[in-house]
Amino acid sequence: MIWIYLIITLLGNAPPRVIDVPNDGGNALMVEWQLPPDSLGKVDSMLILRKTLPEGKVDTVAKAFTNHPEFVDEGVNYKKAYRYSILYFIGPVQIQSKWSSPAEPVAGWIDTRKIPLFILMMLYTTILLVYIFTARKGRELYLRPIAGLEAVDEAVGRATEMGRPIVYIPGLSTISDVATIAALNILAHITKKAGEYETKIIVPVRNPVVYTIAREVIKEAYYTIGRPDLFDPGQVYFATDSQFGYAAHVSALMAREKSATNFFMGMFWAESLILAETGASTGAIQVAGTDAVTQLPFFVVTCDYTLIGEELYAASAYLSKEPLLTASIKGQDQMKLLIMVAMILLSLLSVFGVNITLGLF
């Protein structure tokens, strides 16, 4: 029985240590306590008690296990102070440690761990802005051609030759998805092209907000080429927001309208192959473009041309013929170069046993 008294005296005198968890919103405190060296197997369990100041209300915040003499209490508020105590259960005996001195959680104004990320973000923004301003001054910037781009115009031409409509799917996502924005840019271009030849273009949409913008884009495109009369309110509509309901509808649409050309641009999920394979079965020319990596294999297999990942954004910038947008592609490239250089340098350093993380990698 002597060791129990030993433990009691050892435990009873040691209040837990409480420190603030840095870089948080003042909602966490870290509680650490010392276990007597021989406590394994003797202490059955522990409860962590918390006293909220100034009220003095005592709560049991958690149960702890012997191997892990620390605990992060995430239930605190930065406007108050707290004291902690540990309640030990040793067989039939309960012992409570002294209360710790009061600790106040601090609410931080900047998360220091994220500073490197912030610097990286600023660097990228600067690079982009530099290129955009260069373009504003009217300097020409070289960009290599993208294979799928000529295909877009050819595909519109084919629908004209065959006298059959074009079906354009601007993806299934919301407007906050960058791929949707790119898809709408490309839609503007295609509508103008198709409008010049008076080829009908049908745009079923899954998202209500995207629907309203797509309608505006089409109207505006017809207006630009001086043919506002071509706009037909039935050509762009909200189909349904159910993913597979939409897929069923578009499949049926392509089969019934016998569209000569189908465009799938934007964000897609599992329905991609349903759309593209039905389209292929009707003999249409198909051009796809998406940044959804999981769906790319299916488009590559079933479509005549596929804009892969970043090519979709690049295509949207090329087609808009807006120098400021193409300039940003240049900026993206420089950032890519920087990342590649960083990857090679950091790997080389690692060969010599130097592992640098820059707080990021």
Partner 1 sequence: MHISTDPWVWVAAILTLAIFTFLYKDNPLFKFAEHLFVGVATGYGLVIIYFNAFKPNLYQPLFVEHNLLYIIPFFFGILYFSAAIPKFSYMMRWPIALLLGIGSGLSIPLSFQTYIVEHTKSTILRFPYPNTVLFINALILFIGVLTVLIYFYFSYPHKGAIGTISRIGIIFIMIGFGASFGYTVMARFSLLVGRIQFLLGQWLGIHTVM
Partner 2 sequence: MLQRRIPLVIVFITGVLMSIQYFIPHPISQSAYNIALMWFRGVSSMAYAIAVISFVRHHSRRLKQPQNRFYSAVALLAFLFMCIVGFGFGIEEGTIFYKMYLNVQVPLQATTFSLLAFYMASAAYRAFRVKGFEATLLLITAFIVMFGVTTIGNYIPFIPRLTEWLMAVPNLASKRGILIGVGLGMISTSLKIILGIERNWLGG
Partner 3 sequence: MRDFLIKLSKIERRYIYLALFLALTLPLIFPPNFPQKMSPTVKSVFEFIDTLPPGSHVLLSADYDASVLPEVDPMYRAVLKHCILRGVIPIGMTLYPQGAVLALDAFKEAEEYLGARRDTDYVFLGYQAGYQAVILGIGENIRSVFPKDYFGTPIDSIPAMRGVKNYKDIALVISFSGSSIPITWVIYAYSKYHQKVAAAVTAVSAADFYPYIQTGQFVGMLAGMKGAAEYEYTVGKIMKDNGIEKLPPAKAVKGMDANSIGHILIMLFIIIGNLGYFATKRRK
Identify residues 95-114 at the interface with partner 2 (CB under 8 A).
107-111, 114
Instruction: Determine the Cα–Cα distance for residues 189 and 183; give it in Å rounded to an integer.
Output: 10
233 near partner 2 (CB under 8 A)? yes
Instruction: Output the smallest distance, CB 129 to partner 1, in A.
Output: 14
328 near partner 2 (CB under 8 A)? yes
- C-alpha Rg value of the chain to the nearest Å: 32
Q: Choose the contact partner of 341 out of partner 2, partner 3, partner 1, none; CB within 5 to 8 A by kind.
A: none
Binding-residue pattern over the window 205 to 224 for partner 1, x denoting contact by CB under 8 A: ----x--xx-----------
Residue corresponding to tokens 């707080």: 359
Instruction: Output the smallest distance, CB 45 to partner 3, in A.
Output: 5
Q: Choose the contact partner of 41 out of partner 2, partner 3, partner 1, none; CB within 5 to 8 A by kind.
A: partner 3
Burial class (CB in 10 A: 0-12, 13-18, 19+), 284: buried
Collapse the DSSP code of 55 into the 3-class scheme (helix H, G, I; strand E, B; otherwise coil) and give the result.
coil
Instruction: Output the smallest distance, CB 110 to partner 2, in A.
Output: 6
Secondary structure percentages of the chain, helix, strand, coil, to 5: 45, 20, 35
First-last CA distance in the chain: 54
Identify residues 135-164 at the interface with partner 1 (CB under 8 A).
141-144, 146
CB count in 10 Å sphere of residue 98: 14
235 near partner 1 (CB under 8 A)? no
Q: Are 315 and 305 in contact (CB under 8 A)?
A: no
Nearest to 169 by CA among 56, 54, 284: 284
343 near partner 1 (CB under 8 A)? yes
Q: Choose the contact partner of 330 out of partner 2, partner 1, partner 3, none; CB within 5 to 8 A by kind.
A: partner 1
Collapse the DSSP code of 122 into the 3-class scheme (helix H, G, I; strand E, B; otherwise coil) and give the result.
helix
Binding-residue pattern over the window 239 to 278 for partner 2, x denoting contact by CB under 8 A: -xxxxxx-xx---------------------x--xx-xxx
Q: Choose the contact partner of 130 out of partner 3, partner 2, partner 1, none; CB within 5 to 8 A by kind.
A: none
Strands (DSSP E) found in the chain: 17-20, 29-32, 45-53, 57-64, 70-73, 81-90, 93-96, 166-169, 201-205, 236-238, 261-265, 285-290, 305-308
40 near partner 3 (CB under 8 A)? yes
Identify residues 235-294 at the interface with partner 3 (CB under 8 A).
281
Q: Choose the contact partner of 45 out of partner 3, partner 1, partner 2, none; CB within 5 to 8 A by kind.
A: partner 3
Q: In terms of CB distance, is 45 or 224 closer to partner 3?
A: 45
Pairing of β 201-205 and β 236-238: parallel
Interface pick for partner 1 out of 28, 98, 249, 304 (rule CB under 8 A) = 249
Q: Choose the contact partner of 355 out of partner 2, partner 1, partner 3, none; CB within 5 to 8 A by kind.
A: partner 1
Instruction: Determine the Cα–Cα distance for residues 280 and 320; give it in Å rounded to an integer.
Output: 28
Q: In terms of CB distance, is 65 or 352 closer to partner 1?
A: 352
Instruction: Output the smallest distance, CB 188 to partner 1, in A.
Output: 16
Alpha carbon distances (Å) from 118 to 123, 132, 329, 357: 9, 21, 21, 15
Name every residue whose Cβ is closer than 8 Å to that of residue 126 and which is 6 or more positions away in sequence. Answer: none
Q: Are 288 and 266 in contact (CB under 8 A)?
A: no
Identify residues 145-204 at the interface with partner 2 (CB under 8 A).
174-175, 178, 181-182, 184-185, 188
Token pair in block for residue 325: 């947008």
Amino acid letter for position 94: Q
Bridge partners (DSSP) of residue 96 are: 87
For partner 3, the binding residues (CB under 8 A) are: 40-41, 44-45, 65-68, 281
For partner 1, the binding residues (CB under 8 A) are: 114, 117, 120-121, 124, 141-144, 146, 174-176, 178, 209, 212-213, 239-242, 244-245, 248-249, 251-252, 255-256, 294, 296-298, 300-301, 308-311, 314, 329-330, 332-334, 336-337, 339-340, 342-344, 346-347, 350-351, 353, 355, 360-361
